[in-house]
Chains A and B, each alone.
Chain A
Amino acid sequence: MSEYQMNEKHAGMALDRGVQGVLGQPISRIDGLAKVTGTATYGLEHRIDNLAYGVAITAPIGKGRVTAIDTEAARRMPGVIDIIAGEASIPRETPVFGQKSAHGYDGKVESYGEIVGVAIADCFEAARAAAMAVVVTCVAEPGRFDIRDGEADAESPPEGALLPDTVIGDIDKAMGEAEVTLDVTYTTPPQVHAAMEPHGTIASWEGDRLTIRAPVQIVGGAIPVIAATLGIVAENIRVLTPYIGGGFGGKTMSADIILAAVAAKRTGRTVKVPLSRQQIFHVTYGRSDTIQRVRLGADRAGKLSAVGQDSLVGQKAGASQFFEPVALGAVALYAGANRSFTTRTAQVNLTARGPVRAPGEAVGMIGMECAMDEMAAKLGLDPIAFRKANEPEVDPSTGSPFSSRRLIECYDEGARRFGWADRRKRREGDWLIGHGMATASRVNFLAKSAARVRLGADGRALIETDMTDLGTGTYTILAQVAGESLGLPIGSVDVHLGDSDFPTGAGSGGSFGAASSASSVALACEDVVVELARRMGADPADMTLKDGHAISGNRRVSLAELVGGSPIEGMGTIQPGSTGQAFSQSTHGAHFAEIGVNAVTGEIRVRRMLAVFDCGRVLNHKTARSQAIGGMIWGIGYALHEHAVVDTRTGAYVNRDLAEYHVPTNADVPQIEAYFVEEIDRHANPVGAKGLGEAGISGAAAVVANAIHDACGVRVRDFPITADKLLEGLPPV
């Protein structure tokens, strides 16, 4: 049993002595074949006999009361088994991150489309028709459908918040005294996760035991919420989530899990409750819109004396203390003695606001990195030179040293590869071509994670943890970590994930999944290696493991032989410790982009993007690259497309499908390159990897915006940047 708490720099392990040569290799996903051939079974795809179907019944108002729910006609429809409506067991919406349980139905409606019941039938079509036939009568009341409505009584971060307000020195005074200042406001709109796989659950009971098949990013986090909401003990809940079709923060919990469990209990059937795409917009949480005031003050040489990012965000009244941590990426990014990074949260009647890919940085780095570009222009400095001039020695907000920070190398390597020095603003036919750069910074987390590794008599290793793979590559990197530690080819490692009967892993979220779960597997392998060495009669440090054999001195023994009749099992647990506070930990990077703006229509097309990241150790260069470019593509979406439009008359999202809620299509995605500056960060975690899943997003929207400005001279501060916002600034036709 290897447990390690990160209270000090990790000294290295069997993983580091490994000679198998699989760690870091660009190995294709070991689950890829199953996925592309359709044999990987996702949550809603399980074929179960005698299944019943549930469809949520929702209230079509943004705030008010439900006065009547008429289920008569619906109950008489063919195939209908039962309709549960207007009962406290019905979850009104998805409990958002930080919320202990779902709010049960109580007749009140606090955001558009809250759930009031579930229609259960023998087939999906019957359940859907029945749900739509239920007449929900409501009295609407005036609601707060815009965060500005809640500005007057907006609240400061609660005690213990992920991003407490940071106020150092006197920014107002510093702004007054600075030779060059910038004081601008950037706004970003509400956004949703838009995962390809919709939310949905299959729930079944055997006595008191509940089995949930659903996409769940963090199994260990969801189970207590399910238990508290249903009033059952956590030990009686099993969650199975081997494959997830995209999470992006939106699948930490979902109302359909509760609905399916309630419906299954009531009917005695196994019940499948899928959410429609339209329902997902309203009954799962999304990202708040933000209003960011960014202040920068510097001397004429470009040395910053004032840095501030003060934001207003929204949260549904009574939902959770979670708030969009806008300044998370900027707070430790640039030097400057006078600092203000604050967040006010307005209480609104909009769908709960929770984690959406790169909470904080995805939108916060828009404000900071566009403002830095504006400021560089005001100073007449190259944007890279301006950033380098303000590169801090230690975390400028806390004074802590950085665990690792190779941002300057990212700038230099990126500039070289992109050809930054030779960039040429120009017009090609109708297209205005411009270039931009922006910094990426994403805070690095470690989460408690446990895994079991068993070396069997056949010489194969089996990894078990309830860690998940959202499509990120977890299966593959864990196999690589075990393969490298135990001297096994990748094909000799089996990985079983997403079953709550396995040791509790970190889950996927906050970019902590890879480093946390890989550390737990590496630690578990330590146990196995120690036992193998004992059986070899060797010191672990003197034993080499390769190609399924242990080698010590002149002896080479197969692992199968060493295992014999007694399989070797290791348990590894990593826990965050004091290095999390003692060191400022982030993944860093530098983005570069070339953009075309159509001089006639204002259409924007990204022509190429390139980024270099300092993300610690790279566990798999192929999946890491996929993570990085995936993040950069989301950045294109945040710059140009994503906007969940709220109708401020009703509080409803207007564009609630993927035809009208735009994310980038293949045709919007240009040539993208991603490179890594590698360093094993031993302060961060035992394997020395830093988070990468969200780092690619950080700054990626800003680089697009900065290049648009370079191309056409129009600075848009209200995102997304669409053609209509550029028209007035374009040359006459």
Chain B
Amino acid sequence: MRTFDYARADTPEAAVAGFAQTGTRFIAGGTNLLDLMKLQIETPTRLVDISRLPLADIEEREDGGLTIGALVPNSDLAADKRVIAKYEMLSRALLAGASGQLRNKATTGGNLLQRTRCNYFYDTAAPCNKRAPGTGCAAIGGFNRIMAVLGTSDHCIASHPSDMAVAMRALDATLVTLRAEGGQRRIPIAEFHLPPGDTPHIETVLQPGELITHIELPPPPAGRQIYRKVRDRASYAFALVSVAGAVSVEDGRIASATLAFGGLGVMPWRDPAVERALIGQAPGSPAFEAAADALLAPAKGHGSNDFKIPLARRTLISCLRHLTGTSL
């Protein structure tokens, strides 16, 4: 049997201190880690259970934003009245993910660390640079319908599966962590996830033992919000393409725009060029097409996922119409 030690942390400080030895993983909801352990994709030697830490509250901030405890279950976050009222895209993204049972267990912090659903990552007999660095990438040249078209490298084309993280990216969330050596760190979500490059097994900037304790949301963006998820079936399917965004229009011009994308990228995807193409422009097809051009110029299909590029264009344009109240 593959045995592992199990320790339950009573305080965040104890959790971090308990991370001393290599092979340690924090476990909260376990909705991703336990599956991966059963398949021996993850083989920790020590689990530090953080699920009982007092990090399950949602609090309003003075600046009008929210501070969300890392252990707030996805279901609770989605149903929070303040989230529904001010961060509609986040509530919708959460409810578009997984199933009711999973959302009850999955946590806010854990969701940001969700690992890819790449079919070959899950197949321990297949080469995979993310799972077993240096073995190659079976998805390149294989069945890659669900893989990424943005941010890929010759080493990895796995897509990031989270819906919630896409909304967090559009909302400019900041992660608050407790470092292994003590002391807080604040990490803007833009800097949190890492592209695969030649180290696809390194997915975030978190250091060993560093614990996400809170997620801070700044005041909500101006304008109408959306989370649009396109998927193969109506529930319990990962995004082919998803769009999280908010756009405001003033005096017939787009005054502000924030847009992030799921299903397309190796991480929750946001490209400032998309927003630049919109701001200051009159809402309408020319601006929307330009935004789609900006988003998809660097996109690269790998065969069975080529369709994501035209699908993303169509979905983005449709979302922008909705967000700006522009009819066909």
Contacts and interface: CB of A to CB of B under 8 A. Distances in A.
Interface of A: 60, 77-79, 121, 123, 125-126, 128-130, 132, 278, 430, 600-603, 605, 640-641, 645, 647, 649-650, 652, 654-657, 659-660, 662, 664-668, 722-724, 727, 730, 733
Given A129-B1, A647-B143, A724-B307, A668 B314 contact: no
A654 B311 contact: no
Nearest to B285: A733
Interface centre among B142, B233, B310, B311, by most A CB within 10 Å?
B233
Given A78-B1, A656-B123, A727-B311, 19 more contacts: A79-B1, A129-B1, A130-B1, A600-B315, A601-B311, A602-B311, A640-B232, A652-B126, A654-B119, A654-B120, A657-B122, A659-B236, A662-B232, A664-B233, A723-B240, A723-B307, A727-B307, A727-B310, A733-B313
7 contacts: A601-B241, A641-B232, A652-B123, A654-B143, A665-B233, A730-B314, A733-B318
A641 B145 CA distance: 14
Nearest to A660: B119
Nearest to A58: B125
Interface centre among B1, B142, B230, B313, by most A CB within 10 Å?
B1
Contact of B318 (A78, A430, A645): A430
Interface in B94-142: 117, 119-120, 122-126, 138, 141-142
B119 A668 contact: no
B125 A129 contact: no
Contacts, number: 95
Given A654-B119, A662-B237, A665-B236, A125 B1 contact: yes
B235 interface: yes
Nearest to B289: A733
Contacts of A664: 233
B280 to A, nearest CB: 22
Given A79-B1, A647-B142, A601 B233 contact: no
Given A132-B40, A645-B143, A733-B318, A662 B233 contact: yes
A724 B1 contact: no
A603 B138 CA distance: 28
A723 B3 CA distance: 44
A92 B51 CA distance: 43
Contacts of A601: 230, 241, 311, 314-315, 318
A666 B236 CA distance: 10
B317 interface: yes
Contact of A655 (B119, B138, B241): B119
Given A601-B311, A724-B311, A668 B117 contact: no
Contact of B2 (A129, A659, A733): A129
Contacts of B318: 430, 600-601, 733
Nearest to B306: A724
Interface of B: 1-3, 38-40, 117, 119-120, 122-126, 138, 141-143, 145-146, 230-237, 240-241, 307, 310-311, 313-315, 317-318
A121 B2 CA distance: 13
A733 B80 CA distance: 35
A666 B1 contact: no
Contact of A666 (B142, B231, B235): B235
Contacts of B146: 660
A719 B97 CA distance: 26
Nearest to B40: A132
A640 B233 contact: yes
Given A126-B1, A601-B314, A668-B233, A60 B125 contact: yes
A563 to B, nearest CB: 50
A78 B143 CA distance: 38
A300 B307 CA distance: 40
Contacts of A655: 119, 143
Contact of A649 (B1, B117, B141, B145): B141
A307 to B, nearest CB: 34
Nearest to A112: B125
Contacts of A727: 307, 310-311, 314
A518 B39 CA distance: 44
B230 A667 contact: no
A667 B234 contact: yes
A132 B314 CA distance: 45
Nearest to B288: A733
A647 B120 CA distance: 10
Contact of B232 (A130, A430, A722): A722
Interface centre among B232, B237, B314, B317, by most A CB within 10 Å?
B232
A723 B240 CA distance: 10
Contacts of A645: 143, 145
Contacts of A60: 125
A79 B40 CA distance: 18
Contacts of A666: 235
A229 B315 CA distance: 56
B256 to A, nearest CB: 23
Contacts of B232: 640-641, 662, 722-723
Contacts of A665: 233-236
A660 B146 CA distance: 10
Contact of B233 (A123, A641, A733): A641
Contacts of B125: 60, 652
A24 B131 CA distance: 56
B284 to A, nearest CB: 13
Contacts of B123: 652, 654, 656
A687 to B, nearest CB: 38
A603 B120 CA distance: 26
Contacts of B234: 605, 665, 667-668
A733 B314 contact: yes
B117 A659 contact: yes
B275 to A, nearest CB: 20
Contacts of A660: 117, 119, 146
A132 B119 CA distance: 19
Given A654-B119, A662-B233, A662-B237, A600 B1 contact: no
A165 B37 CA distance: 50
Contacts of A130: 1
Contacts of A121: 1
Interface centre among B119, B138, B142, B313, by most A CB within 10 Å?
B119
A646 to B, nearest CB: 8
A286 to B, nearest CB: 17
A667 B235 contact: yes
Nearest to B310: A727
A723 B241 CA distance: 11
Contacts of B3: 78
A664 B235 CA distance: 9
Nearest to B122: A657
A350 to B, nearest CB: 15
Contacts of B120: 654
Contacts of A657: 122
Contacts of B311: 601-602, 723-724, 727
Contacts of A278: 39
Contacts of A667: 233-235
Contacts of A652: 123, 125-126
A721 to B, nearest CB: 11
B230 A723 contact: yes
Contacts of A656: 123
B289 to A, nearest CB: 10
Nearest to A125: B1
Contacts of A132: 40, 124
Nearest to A601: B230
Contacts of B315: 600-601
Contacts of A724: 240, 307, 311
B71 to A, nearest CB: 24
Nearest to B141: A649
Nearest to B231: A603
A649 B307 contact: no
Nearest to B312: A601
Contacts of A640: 232-233
A259 to B, nearest CB: 20
Contacts of A77: 1
